[in-house]
Amino acid sequence: MSSSSGAKPTRYLRDHRAPEWRIDAVALEFDLDPAATIVSARLDLEQQVAGAVLCLDACDMDLLEVRVDERALGRDEFSHADGVLRVPGVQGRVRLATRVRIAPATNTTLQGLYTSGAGEHGFLITQCEAEGFRHITPFLDRPDVLARYEVTLRADRARFPLLLANGNCVEQGDLGDGRHQARFIDPHPKPSYLFALVAGALDNIEDSFVTAEGRRVRLLIHAQADVIDGCGWAMQCLKQAMRWDEQRFGRCYDLDVFHIVATHDFAMGAMENKGLNIFNAKYLLASADAATDDDFRHVLAVVGHEYFHNWSGNRVTCRDWFQLSLKEGLTVYREQEFEADTASRTLRRIDDVRLLWRAQFAEDAGPLAHPVRPARYSEINNFYTATVYEKGAEIVRMLATQLGRDGFRRGLDRYFSRHDGTAVTVEDFLAALGEANAVDLGPWLAWYAQAGTPTVQARGHYDAAARSYTLHLRQSTPPTPNQPDKQPLPIPVALALIDATTGALPLRLAGEASAGASERVLLLDTAQASWCFLDVPAEPVPSLLRGYSAPVRLDLDATPDQRVAQLRHDSDGFNRWFAGDAIARRLFAQTLASGSPDPATLQSWCSALAAALDERELDAALMAELLSLPDAHSLSGELADIDPEAVHAGRSALESALAQQLHARLRARHQHNATTAWSPATAAAAQRRLRNACLALLVRADPAHAALAASQYAQADNLTDRLAALAALLHADPVRGAALADEFASRHANNALVLDKWFALQAAQTTPAALARVTELTSHAAFHWSNPNKVYALVGTLAQRNQRVFHRADGAGYRFVAAAIARVDALTPQVAARLATAFGAWRRYEPGRRALMQQELATLRAKSGLSADLCDILERLLA
Ligand code: TRP
Ligand code: ZN
């Protein structure tokens, strides 16, 4: 046995070496039993470097036997310690066989082979990314070792009627004495992190899909009997995703069967195992009564995401984990585009930008900042971050903007065909995209290598006599840990010039014979540059970074009137929101600085929103977003010495002022948007979104609107409206709200996912007393420290989404969360480490809270027996 404590040694990108041994073929046999599973492996190995000793990764297992070319080795012919099985004295081509015993029932880490669910309903399931396979069998557990797998599963038939592994099932049979077996062959060479197996008693729904290449594919979704009814939406999403990837990117599915399995016990969203995706039930199940409209969208997005990995990740994989964003950034981008094409482009973009600002900009501004392609890591699990995923997707989006839709498609086609079946790097990706378009994308590597959020400063000058408008752009990036000096990056700035009377102007740059389109993309690839536009009849309103064309902070000296004009008239829906958001932030800053916002700006902002509310054609989802202020964390993004009480007071004051000004219209819209019968369609969901945004503001304008919330709760025929009504009532009338919350809990007592929302809603209450309630809820019968969904709903919501209560001045929030982290670390280290990142901004708080957080972190760090995952985060936080 070997398990670790304390941080792992640091690995460096610059030290990467090609594998010294390769594995062509793998035959695995599992004698499955929750208490003790026997795994027999036969590896066909080939030495790549003369003299290289064979070292296999092998953690947390009892090694029963090692054979080389059929001969059992003596104890002195190999060693097994510290997670490594060393077999000196072998060379060339060898067939190595191992037999090990592992214990899934006591594995609480949610990686390797573990059990999901308790008692006779429990089933066996795996999670191998990033380094879980080494907990199942000795292996070269690195993504650049690609092998063909043949897998045989044996288990008790009554308890484990369903047996699944990657690829096609080629044989099934009875073994007598109550056991049965199934054999699977996956024809596609794959890295070990994509291995999966599932065994248990699960129901399924089945459908089929015929690919553009004419392959008929069986589609199966497996889930426990009590939730199988919630899988229909995911099946529809899967078929849409398969068709979309064919049409948009020419990518077809490549096996005869595609399985998805739902589990409640999962550390992340979902996993793209070849032909056998495994999903956190939270991102798979969706029905009117048990999922919100946002859940329906998330299911669409995550089903798409995992499916798209079949090309961006599986067929073409990563050479090493430093390249993680190669698959994740690209796949998030593909997922974003899928949702944008299938549901609402503007809403998805606003969601992504809000997330980027809240999570990624925050990460980039603190001690955990790292490049999209990190240069070093200790625990790779800690690099599944907003930077790798969301900023990585933004880089891909910028490349797509720069190359144009067709050019980007050409580039991706080149990437997939050139590297199919191999493990590659970011350089390979840029080279394929560049060569297919005859451009050098070398400079873009800097986006992958340089951490930190660039600021683009924009200054416009209108020359009335010359009828010209000159735009000066300047970029800079602040220092981050290990990277004091920053280089200029290629930044695509999509822009339009808006004329208040005629709309977006046709654009003509100095040196051009005539005007072209009204939108174009400028590339700022030096520290500063200027562009001069001609034939501009009057001072225009600059609409910059349209669609948020680059992940930067924009410093634009627009006047409030210009911002309001943009909010009113910009032809890009996203930029209308962007302008509104900028106004709200300015008003908030004024409130913090002087106690109240500038009345004239407040007035014109509210008038612009009122006018938008009267625009009948305006997308209801966009309107809802225009009415939703940035949250407290996002508003604190650029503050130093953050005082959470001041942030809360300032934000609340602004929200109430907005609500009071718009009061009559909000009421009308709330009434007018009362939905008829529920449907999951995008337009219907947008109506509900707007209605609930109105309700949230109405209770802030006047607590008397509690009655409105109560009646919406009583009449709701879907979870979105019911939950929004409950949230509004909790705000307007906490006593009645609490009673209704009890009603909600008993109504949904049998649905773990809905109860998670109930936990989260209570953990999001901003009254300081919420902490006592959250503490009490950790003893609730439905709360389990071993279940990540529960821990994130309660502790995660408090720590990551409730600034005022987590950062209570008395430090009680910190103590609660630190104790929770220690407790979770003993069960699921990955989850503990993720929770600990909530302390990432500790140095940006006012001195009192800063000291309290530092002390809490130091106390935690001093505990013995912490996981490598948690140690790594704590050390970086305190460094
Ligand atoms: N590759 C998964 C994705 O689609 C992420 C993932 C799932 C993961 N489970 C994990 C990463 C466990 C680390 C550990 O994004
Ligand atoms: Zn992914």
Residue 531, H or E segment = strand 528-533
For residue 359, give both structure tokens: 């999570």
Angle at which helix 324-342 crosses helix 345-355, to 10 degrees, equals 140
Indicate whether residue 267 lines ligand 1 (CB < 6 A): yes
Indicate whether residue 141 lines ligand 1 (CB < 6 A): no
Indicate whether residue 332 lines ligand 1 (CB < 6 A): no
Task: Determine if residue 191 is left, alpha or beta; phi over 0 gives left, psi from -120 to 50 gives alpha, anything else beta.
Answer: beta
pLDDT in tens, 150-207: 999 999 999 999 999 999 999 999 999 999 999 999 999 999 999 999 999 999 999 9
Q: Tell me, in angstroms, the distance from the centre of ligand 1 to residue 272's CA.
A: 8
Please name the residue that has the structure tokens 């773990």. 752
pLDDT for 3 equals: 41
Looking at the CA of 130, name the nearest ligand.
1
**CA–CA dist 444, 446 (Å, integer):** 5
pLDDT for 47 equals: 98
pLDDT in tens, 664-714: 999 999 998 776 789 999 999 999 999 999 999 999 999 999 999 999 999
Mean pLDDT throughout 602-627?
97
The residue annotated as part of the active site, out of 129, 131, 306, 328, is 306
Question: Regarding beta strands 553-556 and 455-463, do their DSSP bridges make them parallel or antiparallel, or are they unpaired?
Answer: parallel
For residue 241, give both structure tokens: 């995703």
Q: Tell me, in angstroms, the distance from the centre of ligand 1 to residue 83's CA.
A: 22
Residue 639 has pLDDT above 50, yes or no: yes
Mean pLDDT throughout 658-664?
97
Which residue lies with its CA nearest to atom 5 of ligand 1? 271
Which residue, among 295, 230, 288, has the nearest Cα to 260 in the 3D structure?
230
Residue 288 has pLDDT above 50, yes or no: yes
Ligand 1 atom closest to 389 (CA)? 15
Full-prediction pTM beyond 0.95? yes
Ligand 1 atom closest to 328 (CA)? 15
Cα end-to-end distance, the chain, whole Å: 32
> In 335-355, which positions are buried (b, 16+ CB within 10 angstroms) versus exposed (e)?
bbbbbeebbbbbbbbbbbbbe
Indicate whether residue 268 lines ligand 1 (CB < 6 A): yes
DSSP structure string for 675-700: -SS----HHHHHHHHHHHHHHHHHHH
Q: How confident is the model at residue 419 (pLDDT cuts 50, 70, 90)?
A: very high
pLDDT in tens, 705-761: 999 999 999 999 999 999 999 999 999 999 999 999 999 999 999 999 999 999 999
Indicate whether residue 317 lines ligand 1 (CB < 6 A): no
Q: Which residues, by Cβ under 5 Å, contact ligand 2, an ion?
A: 328, 331
Ligand 1 atom closest to 270 (CA)? 7
> Which stretches does DSSP call E strand in 50-167?
54-57, 62-68, 71-72, 79-81, 84-87, 93-102, 112-116, 123-127, 147-156, 162-165
pLDDT in tens, 289-298: 999 999 999 9
pLDDT in tens, 352-389: 999 999 999 999 999 999 999 999 999 999 999 999 99
Residue 241 has pLDDT above 80, yes or no: yes
For 878, other C-beta atoms within 10 Å of its C-beta total 14
Indicate whether residue 383 lines ligand 1 (CB < 6 A): no
pLDDT for 672 equals: 85
Q: Tell me, in angstroms, the distance from the centre of ligand 2 to residue 868's CA.
A: 23
Q: Look over the chain and give the mean of its residue pLDDT values, rounded to a whole number.
A: 97
Residues of the chain with pLDDT > 70: what percent? 99
Specify whether the CB–CB gap between 197 and 165 falls below 8 A.
yes
pLDDT for 500 equals: 79
**CA–CA dist 458, 469 (Å, integer):** 13
Looking at the CA of 269, name the nearest ligand.
1
pLDDT in tens, 88-132: 999 999 999 999 999 999 999 999 999 999 888 899 999 999 999
Specify whether the CB–CB gap between 246 and 207 falls below 8 A.
no
HEC states along 148-205? EEEEEEEEECCCCCEEEECCEEEEEEEEECCEEEEEEEEEEEECHHHCCEEEECCEEE
Looking at the CA of 109, name the nearest ligand.
1
Q: How confident is the model at residue 503 (pLDDT cuts 50, 70, 90)?
A: confident
Specify whether the CB–CB gap between 812 and 608 falls below 8 A.
no
pLDDT for 256 equals: 98
Ligand 1 atom closest to 302 (CA)? 4
Looking at the CA of 329, name the nearest ligand.
2
Q: Tell me, in angstroms, the distance from the centre of ligand 1 to residue 270's CA.
A: 6
Residue 637 has phi, psi (to 5 degrees) of -50, -35
Which residue lies with its CA nearest to atom 11 of ligand 1? 129
Indicate whether residue 286 lines ligand 1 (CB < 6 A): no
Indicate whether residue 384 lines ligand 1 (CB < 6 A): yes
Q: Tell me, in angstroms, the distance from the centre of ligand 1 to residue 128's CA.
A: 9
Residue 765 has pLDDT above 80, yes or no: yes
Q: Tell me, in angstroms, the distance from the centre of ligand 1 to residue 645's CA.
A: 36
Mean pLDDT throughout 562-587?
96
**CA–CA dist 547, 558 (Å, integer):** 18
Indicate whether residue 245 lines ligand 1 (CB < 6 A): no
| Nearest-5° Cα angle at 330, 327 to 334 | 125
Which residue lies with its CA nearest to atom 7 of ligand 1? 271
Indicate whether residue 312 lines ligand 1 (CB < 6 A): no
DSSP structure string for 582-629: HHHHHHHHHHHHHSS--HHHHHHHHHHHHHHHH-TTS-HHHHHHHT--
- 306 given a catalytic annotation: yes
Specify whether the CB–CB gap between 748 and 290 falls below 8 A.
yes
Residue 2 has pLDDT above 70, yes or no: no
Return the best residue to mutate from 128, 318, 384 for the ligand 1 pocket (most ligand atoms within 8 A of CB).
Answer: 384
Q: Tell me, in angstroms, the distance from the centre of ligand 1 to residue 196's CA.
A: 13
Which residue lies with its CA nearest to atom 2 of ligand 1? 271
Indicate whether residue 390 lines ligand 1 (CB < 6 A): no
Q: For the purposes of burial, counting CB atoms within 10 Å of the CB of 29, is it exposed (0-12), middle (13-18) or buried (19 or more)?
A: middle
pLDDT for 453 equals: 98
Indicate whether residue 718 lines ligand 1 (CB < 6 A): no
pLDDT for 6 equals: 79
Q: Tell me, in angstroms, the distance from the centre of ligand 1 to residue 587's CA.
A: 39
Which residue lies with its CA nearest to atom 12 of ligand 1? 129
Indicate whether residue 393 lines ligand 1 (CB < 6 A): no
Residue 739 has phi, psi (to 5 degrees) of -65, -40
**CA–CA dist 570, 556 (Å, integer):** 16
pLDDT in tens, 421-467: 999 999 999 999 999 999 999 999 999 999 999 999 999 999 999 99
Q: Tell me, in angstroms, the distance from the centre of ligand 1 to residue 627's CA.
A: 34
**CA–CA dist 822, 263 (Å, integer):** 25
> Which stretches does DSSP call E strand in 760-871?
none
**CA–CA dist 680, 684 (Å, integer):** 7
SS3 for 340? helix
Specify whether the CB–CB gap between 377 and 321 falls below 8 A.
yes
Angle at which helix 682-701 crosses helix 719-732, to 10 degrees, equals 10
